[in-house]
Chains A and B, each alone.
Chain A
Amino acid sequence: MKINTILLAKVLLKGGGNKSGKGKNRPRWLLWIILAVAFLPLVAQLAVFTSVSYEVLKGMALQSIIPAIALALTSFVVFFFGIFYVLNTFYFTTDIESLLPLPFKPFEIIGAKFIVVTIYEYLTELVVLLPVLIVYGVMSGSGVLYYIYFLVIFLTLPVIPLVISSLIIMPLMRFTGLVKNKDRFKYIASIIALGIGVGFQVVIRKFVNSAADTSKLENTLTDLNRNVKTVTDFFPSAKFAALSLIKSAELSGFANIFLFICITAIFVFVFLFLSQLLYFKGVMGVSESGSRRRKLSRSEFEKITASRSVLLTYFLKEIKIIIRTPAYFINCLLSNFIWPVIILIPNITSNRKGMSISQFGELINQNANQGFILAIGFGFSLFLASSNCVTSTAISREGQNLYINKYIPLGFDKQILMKVMTGVVIGILGVGVLFTVISIMFKLSLTFVLVLIVSGIIGIIFSSFTGIIFDLLNPKLNWDNEQKAVKQNLNVIFNMLVSLIVAGVFIVLIFFTGLSLIQTFVTIVIAFGLFISILYFLVSRIGVKLFKRIEG
């Protein structure tokens, strides 16, 4: 039985089939190197940050708060990503329909999917947890037991947060079987699940804020356990994990890791038990779509058959498919609003410490360094448009149906441009929400808002173009369900990386040159206007050739 589960998990993981074009088998290690390079800067930053904090905290004899914070925050990150992973892997794949006829027991299917999600989360841990705890281990001169405990914790930590995200999603999704409009309900349920996730974020921010409050720290300076407790209250299990690491040299370290493993095991059993009740009823009919089977009324008929221009019709087709395909809706559209939320929440919740929001707004309005702030807004738009993956998966999303684009009498250049346009419009939606909220919250001046909006649009156009170039170069067309076109697609990571680098370099440049608001704006318009023209040229000349070359 166990063997079955593991075999199935392997198949599900491989199903990603990163092959594009036939016979072009990119070696797997290349993929790992690329991923490693992509995340190395972040890992290095975290390592440096940890070693600096270690020195500082050591002065207060508080260094052991590091593993506690690291584990609690990782648990939270795992939980938050878990909402996406669980939605995608458990509900928005159609592989369940091919699994059901096979002789698997229900818990084997659930177990296999859970393993897949856990493995995804190991990647998260590699980036956010590994550097911190290795540095801590080295600096505190911990013994072998520390590293053994760490390995155990690394492998088991994602379980509890993932069970929690599953248990938020599964009861919600259970209702899809009951409602008529299944597709629509799936959207609503995912938005609710995200809302709960964001709610958690607000709460945990408060925890971290109060824990990081130095005055409070000093009060409890002597009571190490209590400090660890405040931070890890949220994910209680993380407390035992942290204590086992802190006290790895003592017997109580062993007691704590034992407790941690026991709690994790209990969560696994609870999960397997509940999911058998909740999962299959919710996932049945994932591919069902609402149908009414009735004749259209005359007015409905007239409305739908209105004639439009060729370009508009192609653009609307793109948008409709994104909105109506749950996997695309989540990854291309909803993800657009996650970054704004993540950025806005700390500002909304933490106004009691440091400067208040209106003070911050005044700072923007009066400060000579407005150019720098504009550069940040610009960089953010650039990044957001790359993270919504509309253009960097635009060709991949066509999958086995790419050939349709080849036989319709619409130039490839026009098709590609409409795909870019889709990315730009969706990007503007995401950035627009954020900018509107910020402008109102900070009471920004009209000039600043206008300049910000224009720069933002330029940034979005730029990364929409770079995104489609990556996807034209190497689209991922061999997928069997839609989420694979947008998840596990390297083009998304490439484009985010390029956007991060371009945005970073630009922000640093503006910081060091100290350009004013208008100077920065002019720089953006001229420099990126030029870049975009070049990209436009590339896409409409070479892009067309690439498109022609792709043979699904």
Chain B
Amino acid sequence: MIELRNVNKTYNGKVKAVDNLNLKIEKGEIFGFLGPNGAGKTTTIKMITGIINTDSGSITINDVDIEKNPIEAKRQFGFVPDDPNIFLRLKGIEYLNFMADIYNVSSADRKERIDSLSKRFEMENAIGDPIQSYSHGMRQKIVIMGVLVHNPNVWILDEPLTGLDPKSSFLLKEMMREHTQSGKTVFFSTHVLEVAEKICDRVAVINNGRILFCGTLEEMKNHFKGESSLEKMFLEMTGNED
């Protein structure tokens, strides 16, 4: 569960990136975060994960406040950033083991998970090589595996599907489903409306730092009686803004 209350963020005292944002992501749901470029998705995610500080407002993950109790809050989630170019000098497996150590994963658990994840993501032949030698999509896979290896309760992913091949993309979506079925939470941003339509229980649409809509896709369709496709609804919502 993730909860944001009256969260604000301004960059350099000028760009209001997030404007009095309220959002609640429940246990057991896949939540999609939609919005055009520069809407404030990454900024919101960075505040949830403790990467940047909020100007005001509070954020809790599984009821743990990220400001007040950062370490405990950070133990609740796993994060996939939008830029997969991290730890390029480490070997894939070294990175996975680093994450396992940081999150205190037992020796037996990590071995089993690394084994099965590298099989499922078809990375068995690559994990022994430096991440520097990976393609963009392989780098994304290793970052996702780095999250799965410590099996966090909440998944937070910033555009996880761009760059993945169809098979891996399907696999990730399937894993999101499995994850939420056991009562856990998935929160991810995306530009791909079809993906949102297919797997999200609820979505929020953000533009210029403000939430324009939050609810199930059914509700969205009811709201826009006239429009037939999600794309048209999205364009109408975000286009009217300015």
Say yes or no: is B103 at the interface (Cβ < 8 Å to chain A): yes
* Chain B binder among A45-53, A299-307, A452-460: A299-307
Number of interface residues of A (CB under 8 A): 43
Say yes or no: is A215 at the interface (Cβ < 8 Å to chain B): no
Within 8 A of A (CB), among B62-95: 70-72, 74-75, 79, 81, 83, 85-87, 89-91, 93-94
The contact string, 1 if C-beta is below 8 Å from chain A, for chain B 101-141, is: 11111110011001100000000111111101100000000
Instruction: Kindly identify which residue among A310, A325, A411 contacts B101, using a CB–CB cutoff of 8 Å.
Output: A310
Minimal beta-carbon separation of B117 from chain A (angstroms): 12
Instruction: Kindly identify which residue among B46, B107, B115 contacts A307, using a CB–CB cutoff of 8 Å.
Output: B107
Q: Which residues of B contact A287 (CB under 8 A)?
A: 132
Instruction: Kindly identify which residue among A23, A289, A302, A408 contacts B74, using a CB–CB cutoff of 8 Å.
Output: A408
Q: If the complex has contacts A22-B11, A309-B101, are A294 and B106 also in contact, measured as CB distance less than 8 A?
A: no
Q: Which residues of A contact B125 (CB under 8 A)?
A: 293-295
The contact string, 1 if C-beta is below 8 Å from chain B, for chain A 389-407, is: 0000000000011011011
Q: Are A548 and B132 in contact (CB under 8 A)?
A: no
Q: Are A295 and B124 in contact (CB under 8 A)?
A: yes
Minimal beta-carbon separation of A93 from chain B (angstroms): 15
Minimal beta-carbon separation of B75 from chain A (angstroms): 5
Say yes or no: is B36 at the interface (Cβ < 8 Å to chain A): no
Interchain CA distance A289-B74 in the complex, whole Å: 33
Interchain CA distance A325-B132 in the complex, whole Å: 11
Interchain CA distance A548-B124 in the complex, whole Å: 37
- Nearest A residue to B134 via CB reads A291
Interchain CA distance A404-B71 in the complex, whole Å: 14
Interchain CA distance A292-B124 in the complex, whole Å: 12
Interchain CA distance A419-B114 in the complex, whole Å: 28
Q: Are A320 and B90 in contact (CB under 8 A)?
A: yes
Say yes or no: is A2 at the interface (Cβ < 8 Å to chain B): no
Q: Which residues of A contact B75 (CB under 8 A)?
A: 409
Q: If the complex has contacts A295-B125, A310-B104, are A401 and B132 also in contact, measured as CB distance less than 8 A?
A: no
Q: Which residues of A contact B98 (CB under 8 A)?
A: 313, 317
- Nearest A residue to B102 via CB reads A408
Minimal beta-carbon separation of A297 from chain B (angstroms): 9
Q: Are B102 and A410 in contact (CB under 8 A)?
A: yes
Instruction: Kindly identify which residue among A300, A312, A320 contacts B89, using a CB–CB cutoff of 8 Å.
Output: A320
Q: Which residues of B contact A324 (CB under 8 A)?
A: 89, 130
* Chain A binder among B47-55, B201-209, B229-237: B47-55
Interchain CA distance A301-B100 in the complex, whole Å: 14
Say yes or no: is A321 at the interface (Cβ < 8 Å to chain B): yes
Within 8 A of B (CB), among A318-340: 320-321, 324-325
Q: Which of A317, A321, A549 has the most CB of B within 10 A?
A: A317
Q: If the complex has contacts A306-B107, A324-B89, A551-B52, are A313 and B102 also in contact, measured as CB distance less than 8 A?
A: yes
Interchain CA distance A308-B101 in the complex, whole Å: 6
Say yes or no: is B222 at the interface (Cβ < 8 Å to chain A): no
Say yes or no: is A354 at the interface (Cβ < 8 Å to chain B): no
Q: Are A403 and B46 in contact (CB under 8 A)?
A: yes
Say yes or no: is B8 at the interface (Cβ < 8 Å to chain A): no
Q: Which residues of B contact A307 (CB under 8 A)?
A: 97, 100-101, 105-107, 110
Which interface class (under 10, 10 to 19, 20 to 34, 35 or more) fits B? 35 or more
- Nearest B residue to A410 via CB reads B102
Q: Are A305 and B100 in contact (CB under 8 A)?
A: yes
Q: Are A406 and B51 in contact (CB under 8 A)?
A: yes
Say yes or no: is B12 at the interface (Cβ < 8 Å to chain A): yes
Q: Which residues of A contact B79 (CB under 8 A)?
A: 407
Interchain CA distance A317-B130 in the complex, whole Å: 13
Q: If the complex has contacts A295-B125, A307-B101, A408-B102, are A289 and B130 also in contact, measured as CB distance less than 8 A?
A: yes
- Nearest B residue to A304 via CB reads B93
Q: Which residues of A contact B91 (CB under 8 A)?
A: 304
Q: Which residues of A contact B128 (CB under 8 A)?
A: 292, 294-296, 300
- Nearest B residue to A409 via CB reads B74
Say yes or no: is A314 at the interface (Cβ < 8 Å to chain B): yes
Q: If the complex has contacts A293-B126, A314-B102, A407-B49, are A401 and B86 also in contact, measured as CB distance less than 8 A?
A: yes
Within 8 A of A (CB), among B172-226: none
Q: If the complex has contacts A23-B12, A406-B51, are A291 and B97 also in contact, measured as CB distance less than 8 A?
A: no
Q: If the complex has contacts A305-B111, A321-B89, are A290 and B130 also in contact, measured as CB distance less than 8 A?
A: yes
- Nearest B residue to A297 via CB reads B128
Interchain CA distance A404-B80 in the complex, whole Å: 10
Q: Which residues of A contact B51 (CB under 8 A)?
A: 403, 406-407, 551
- Nearest B residue to A21 via CB reads B12
Interchain CA distance A289-B49 in the complex, whole Å: 32
- Nearest B residue to A401 via CB reads B86
Q: Are A304 and B97 in contact (CB under 8 A)?
A: yes
Q: Are A293 and B129 in contact (CB under 8 A)?
A: yes
Minimal beta-carbon separation of B156 from chain A (angstroms): 9
Q: Which residues of B contact A294 (CB under 8 A)?
A: 125, 128
Interchain CA distance A300-B91 in the complex, whole Å: 13
Interchain CA distance A485-B110 in the complex, whole Å: 34
Q: Are A403 and B97 in contact (CB under 8 A)?
A: no
Minimal beta-carbon separation of A532 from chain B (angstroms): 26
Q: Are A296 and B81 in contact (CB under 8 A)?
A: no
Minimal beta-carbon separation of B153 from chain A (angstroms): 13
Q: Which residues of B contact A325 (CB under 8 A)?
A: 89
Q: Are B132 and A296 in contact (CB under 8 A)?
A: no
Q: If the complex has contacts A287-B132, A289-B130, A293-B129, are A305 and B52 also in contact, measured as CB distance less than 8 A?
A: no
Within 8 A of B (CB), among A129-188: none
Interchain CA distance A288-B102 in the complex, whole Å: 29
Q: Which residues of A contact B124 (CB under 8 A)?
A: 295
Q: Are A296 and B50 in contact (CB under 8 A)?
A: no
- Nearest B residue to A403 via CB reads B51
Q: Which residues of A contact B87 (CB under 8 A)?
A: 317, 321, 401, 404
Q: Which residues of A contact B114 (CB under 8 A)?
A: 301, 305
Identify the 9 closest CB pairs spanning chains A and B, nearest first: A291-B133, A409-B74, A313-B101, A291-B129, A324-B89, A406-B51, A407-B49, A307-B107, A289-B132
Q: Can you sample 17 A-B contacts with CB below 8 Å?
A: A22-B12, A289-B129, A289-B130, A289-B132, A290-B129, A291-B130, A292-B128, A305-B100, A306-B107, A307-B106, A308-B101, A401-B87, A404-B86, A408-B74, A409-B70, A409-B71, A410-B71
- Chain A interface residues (CB < 8 Å from chain B): 22-23, 287-296, 300-302, 304-310, 312-314, 317, 320-321, 324-325, 400-401, 403-404, 406-411, 548-549, 551
Knowing that A290-B130, A302-B111 touch, tell me 17 more A-B residue pairs with CB under 8 angstroms. A289-B132, A290-B133, A294-B128, A301-B111, A304-B94, A305-B107, A305-B110, A305-B114, A307-B100, A307-B107, A310-B102, A321-B87, A403-B46, A403-B81, A408-B102, A548-B53, A551-B51
